[in-house]
Amino acid sequence: MIQLHDKQFVPFISAEEIDVAIQKMATQIETDLVDEIPVFIGVLNGSFMVVSDFVKKYKKPCEVSFVKMASYSGMASTNEVKELIGLNQDLTGRTIIVIEDIIDTGHTIVELKALFEQQNLKHFKIATLFFKPEAYKKEVKIDYIGIQIPNKFIVGFGLDYDGLGRNLPEVYQLRD
Ligand code: IMP
Ligand code: MG
C-alpha cells in the first residue's frame, strides 16, 4: 500500500500488464496504418509514460509530438475557452493519433477532437491506455483501448493524485 497526500492506494495493475496492453495497441495500429506516416500526439502531462513506451514498440516510421490543453476564461466570465498549446506544425493531410493516458467522462477528448478538426487532417484517431466505460458519457469513438477499468480513481504510470504518483511504474487504485 502507498500513501499520497491524505489518501491510501493499493496495487491494481502491474507493470507487466501495462506493457502487454501497450504492445497490443502498437501492433494494432501498425497493422491498421498501411503506408502512411502517423503523427502520434501525447496529451501532457499524464501521457508522457505511455507515449514513451508506445513509440518504442511501434516499429514503422512515425513522428511524435506533445500538446497540452489549456483553459482560460472567455469574455463572459462563465464560458471557458480551450486552447491547444505546443502544436506548431502543419498537420494538413496527416494522420493524427492522439495518445491519452486515461479517458474518463470524455470531456477532454471531445474538446481535443474539436480543436484538431480545425486542421485539415487526413485521419484523426484516438488511443488510450486506460478507459472507464461506466464513466464515459460521449459519442466519440475511441479507436484503440489498452485496458478497461471500473469507475475508480487510479494513480501511477503518468497519472497523478494532486501532483503525486506519476512516477510509479505500476498502477494503484484508491483504497475503499
Ligand atoms: P475526462 O473526464 O475523460 O475528460 O478526463 C479528464 C482527465 O482527468 C484525464 O485526462 C486525467 O488527467 C484525469 N483523470 C480521470 N480519471 C483519472 C484517474 O482515475 N486518475 C487520475 N487522473 C484521472
Ligand atoms: Mg490526461
pLDDT, tens digit, 9 for 90 and up, residues 147-164? 999 999 999 999 999 999
Q: State the pLDDT confidence band at 170, using cuts at 50, 70 and 90.
A: very high
Q: Are residues 121 and 96 in contact, defined by beta-carbon separation less than 8 angstroms?
A: yes
Whether residue 49 is contained in a domain is answered as yes
Q: Tally Cβ neighbours within 10 Å of residue 51.
A: 25
pLDDT, tens digit, 9 for 90 and up, residues 53-63? 999 999 999 99
Whether residue 3 is contained in a domain is answered as no
Q: How far apart are CA 127 and CA 147, in angstroms?
A: 11
Domain count, the chain: 1
What amino acid positions are annotated as catalytic residues? 104
- Ligand closest to 67 (CA) is 2
Q: What is the pTM of this model?
A: 0.95
- Ligand closest to 109 (CA) is 1
- Who contacts 141 (Cβ-Cβ below 8 Å, separation ≥6)? 126
Whether residue 158 is contained in a domain is answered as no
Interval between CA 141 and ligand 1 midpoint (Å): 17
Interval between CA 33 and ligand 2 midpoint (Å): 25
Q: State the pLDDT confidence band at 80, using cuts at 50, 70 and 90.
A: confident
| Ligand 1 within 6 A of CB of 103 | yes
- Domain residues for the domain of 23 are 15-151
Mutate to test the pocket of ligand 1, among 159, 166, 167 (most ligand atoms within 8 A of CB): 159
User: 75 or 20, which is more confident?
Assistant: 20
Q: How far apart are CA 16 and CA 130, in angstroms?
A: 15
Which of 118, 124, 79 has the alpha carbon at shortest distance from 99?
124
Whether residue 6 is contained in a domain is answered as no
Q: State the pLDDT confidence band at 72, using cuts at 50, 70 and 90.
A: confident
CATH number for position 20: 3.40.50.2020
Whether residue 93 is contained in a domain is answered as yes
Whether residue 29 is contained in a domain is answered as yes
Q: Phi and psi dihedrals of 83, rounded to 5?
A: -140, 145
Whether residue 164 is contained in a domain is answered as no
Interval between CA 45 and ligand 1 midpoint (Å): 11
Q: Which atom of ligand 1 is nearest to the CA of 159?
A: 21
Whether residue 130 is contained in a domain is answered as yes
| Ligand 1 within 6 A of CB of 68 | no
Mean pLDDT of 23-29: 98
